Structure 1
Amino acid sequence: MSRPAHHPAVATLTRNPLKSSLYSQEPYFRESLCDLEHLLGESTPTTVLRHGLVVVKPDGHALGATSTVLDFYARHGFTPVDARPVTFTRSVWRSLWVYQMTQASIDRLLVNDLVMDGEGIALLLRDTTDAPLPAAVRLSELKGPARMEKQSEDCLRRAVGQPNRIFSLVHSADEPADLVRELGILFGQGERRAMATAMGSGTLSESGIQLLETVRRYDERPRRIFDQDASRKQVIAAISQRLAERELPTASREALVSAIDDLESGRVLRASAFFAALLDAAVTADSWDLAVAVSDVIEDDVPGVSKVIDNFGAAAWEQG
Structure 2
Amino acid sequence: MNPEHGIPVSPRLTCHPDKQRLYGADTYYQESHEQLAALTGDVTGFAHRHAALLLKPDAVVARRLEAAVDWLTEQRYRIVGAAVTRLSRTMIRSLWYFQWNLATPHRRRLAALFLEDADALVLLVRPEREPYVPASVELTRLKGPTDPDARRPGQLRHLLGRYSYLLNLVHTPDEPADVLRELAVHFDDATREELFRTALAGEDRTAHALELAGRLYADTKPRDLHFDPAAERLRDTVTRHLGALPDASPRTLLETAWDQGLELDPWDAVIVGSSVLPMRVPGRAPVLDGAGTDTWRRHLDVLNARPN
Range into which the TM-score falls when normalised by the shorter chain: 0.7 to 0.9
d(CA) in 1 for partners of 2:8, 2:15: 14
| Aligned partner letter, 2:84 | P
Q: 1:270: Cα distance to partner?
A: 10
Q: Could you tell me how far apart the structure 2 residues matched to 1:239 and 1:299 are?
A: 22
Q: How many residues are paired up?
A: 296
Specify every segment of 5 or more residues in structure 2 that has no aligned partner in the other structure, as ranges. 300-308
Q: 3-state SS of the aligned residue for 2:43? A: helix
Secondary structure at the aligned position of 2:126 is classed as strand
Distance 1:106 1:275 in 2: 17
Cα drift, residue 122 of structure 1: 0.6
Q: Which amino acid is 1:318 matched to?
A: R
Q: Equivalent residues in 2 for 1:1-320 (5 A)?
A: 3-4=3-4, 7-40=7-40, 42-117=41-116, 118-204=118-204, 209-213=207-211, 215=213, 223-243=222-242, 264-266=248-250, 274=256, 276-278=258-260, 281=261, 283-320=262-299
Q: Aligned letter for 1:196?
A: F
Tell me the distance in 2 between the aligned counterparts of 1:24 and 1:275.
45
* CA shift digits 1:272-297 (9 cap, x unpaired): x556424xx3x221101111122211
Structure 2 vs 1, CA of residues 189 and 261 (structure 1 numbering), >3 Å: closer, same or farther?
Answer: farther
Distance between the aligned counterparts of 1:112 and 1:217, measured in 2?
Answer: 23
User: Equivalents in 1 of 2:80, 2:181: separation in Å?
Assistant: 18
Q: Over aligned residue pairs, what C-alpha RMSD do you find?
A: 2.6
Question: Secondary structure at the residue paired with 2:42?
Answer: helix
Partner of 2:51, secondary structure, is strand
CA-to-partner distance for each residue in 1:10-58, whole Å, 9 max, x for gaps? 3221111111111111111111111111112x12211221111101001
* Counterpart Cα distance in 2 of 1:310 and 1:274: 35
TM-score (norm 2): 0.87
* Equivalent pair of 1:83/1:212 in contact (CA under 8 Å): no
Deviations 1:213-234 (A, max 9, x none): 4526977997111132222232
TM-score (norm 1): 0.84
Distance in 2, matches of 1:219 and 1:191, equals 21
Unaligned residue ranges in structure 1 (runs of 5+) = 245-256
- What is the rounded CA distance, in whole Å, between the counterparts of 1:295 and 1:148 in structure 2? 12
CA distance in 2, matches of 1:153, 1:131: 23
